[in-house]
């Protein structure tokens, strides 16, 4: 891992890029105080970067894994051109194990494996073309989702978003923030509230940074303030992304999403999930079957390396929670909008591509 010159992340902020035969990532652990780009030239280094949250957000993780698969094929081919695919298998397994909850990771790797079939000679050009297609398709999907979601928002609305589902979490533009960007562009939004999103503070560090870069006014709130603002009638929509959507429409997203969904339903606030169809996992029947990643307790007991809890204090640190489909008013995808999503509606949405 080497730190290089800062790339230009203007207008749209790119979490991941392919630059001169390497995978470049904007180090999101350092934002908003430092904009630093790291470059990786091995599959294992990309897997470590995903695990260590240099890059995060389900679509961006999938894109990073796709580029990592290119590096895996390159390494394997250079070792044994005649048997490179066998050698690439354990390298791809490293990528797959980096973050277990985000389904886009497995989806992108499955697509890259499918592209490997029947390749003759050096596999890198064909696999790089596929990885770039995954990246480009995600950007285009985000823009379509943004327009679909903005159509649902009334003029003068105030919205709440949780975690970061913007350009930093995707191939560009964003899912939840794509909707917010599109709605702001149409002068529909009165106010955007960003929940801080403990313990990694993606809302405070990343969402606020993105929106201010785009000159979209944002007000940061503590996670526990959201219910109060809903009670006061100051929020009309909660808009979030997703790391996995199950066959029945349950949604895994950053921890705290479920609390916002429950509060929104009680207060008559509408709840929108914006996610590409690659986030839908028909192989997982419902939220009870989603593996929920847990990270180090130190992320809760410490802040920036400084203890905030007494020595010996235990902490639980689940990274995601599951919002039941019954609490989702609309699911916005690049293929259209599902009101009150359920298994039949989701299968109907995907059916033309079976």
**Cα-trace Rg, the chain:** 20
Alpha-carbon dihedral angle through residues 202, 204, 208, 210, given to the nearest 10 degrees: -30
> Is 329 among the residues known to form the active site?
no
> How many whole angstroms separate alpha carbon 73 and alpha carbon 71?
5
**Contacts for 138 with CB less than 8 Å, ≥ 6 apart:** 59, 62, 63, 170, 171, 172, 276, 278
> How many whole angstroms separate alpha carbon 29 and alpha carbon 170?
16
- Tokens 């923030």 belong to 177
Phi, psi at residue 219, to the nearest 5°? -115, 120
Active-site option among 138, 243, 281, 321: 243
Strands (E), 41-173: 157-162
Cα 115 to chain center, whole Å?
A: 24
> How many whole angstroms separate alpha carbon 19 and alpha carbon 299?
32
Whether residue 20 contacts residue 52, with contact meaning beta carbons closer than 8 Å, is answered with: no
- Tokens 């899912």 belong to 175
Tokens of 160: 């709440």
- Where in the sequence numbering do the catalytic residues fall? 243
């Amino acid at each position: 891992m080497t730190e290089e010159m800062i790339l230009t992340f203007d207008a749209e902020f790119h979490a991941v890029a392919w630059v001169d035969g390497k995978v470049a990532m904007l180090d999101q652990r350092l934002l908003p105080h430092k904009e630093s780009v790291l470059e990786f030239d091995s599959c294992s280094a990309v897997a470590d970067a995903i695990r260590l949250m240099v890059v995060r957000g389900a679509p961006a993780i999938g894109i990073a894994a796709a580029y990592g698969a290119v590096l895996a094929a390159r390494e394997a081919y250079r070792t044994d051109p005649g048997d490179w695919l066998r050698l690439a298998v354990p390298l791809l397994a490293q990528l797959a194990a980096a973050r277990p909850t985000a389904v886009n990771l497995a989806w992108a790797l499955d697509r890259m494996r499918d592209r490997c079939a029947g390749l003759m000679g050096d596999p890198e050009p064909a696999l790089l073309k596929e990885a770039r297609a995954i990246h480009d398709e995600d950007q285009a999907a985000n823009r379509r989702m943004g327009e679909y979601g903005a159509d649902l928002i009334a003029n003068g609305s105030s919205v709440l978003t949780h975690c970061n589902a913007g350009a930093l979490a995707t191939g560009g533009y964003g899912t939840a923030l794509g909707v917010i960007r599109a709605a702001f562009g149409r002068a529909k939004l009165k106010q955007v509230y960003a929940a801080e999103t403990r313990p990694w503070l993606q809302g405070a560090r990343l969402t606020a940074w993105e929106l201010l870069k785009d000159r979209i006014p944002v007000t940061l709130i503590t996670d526990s303030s959201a219910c109060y603002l809903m009670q006061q009638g100051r929020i009309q929509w909660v808009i979030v992304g997703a790391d996995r959507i199950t066959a029945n429409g349950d949604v895994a997203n950053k921890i705290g999403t479920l609390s916002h969904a429950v509060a929104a339903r009680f207060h008559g606030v509408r709840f929108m999930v914006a996610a590409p169809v690659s986030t839908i996992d028909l192989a997982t029947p419902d939220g009870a079957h989603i593996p929920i990643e847990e990270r180090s307790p130190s992320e809760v007991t410490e802040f920036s390396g400084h203890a905030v809890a007494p020595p010996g204090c235990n902490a639980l640190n689940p990274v995601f929670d599951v919002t039941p489909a019954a609490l989702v008013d609309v699911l916005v995808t690049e293929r259209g909008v599902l009101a009150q999503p359920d298994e039949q509606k989701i299968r109907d949405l995907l059916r033309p591509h079976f």
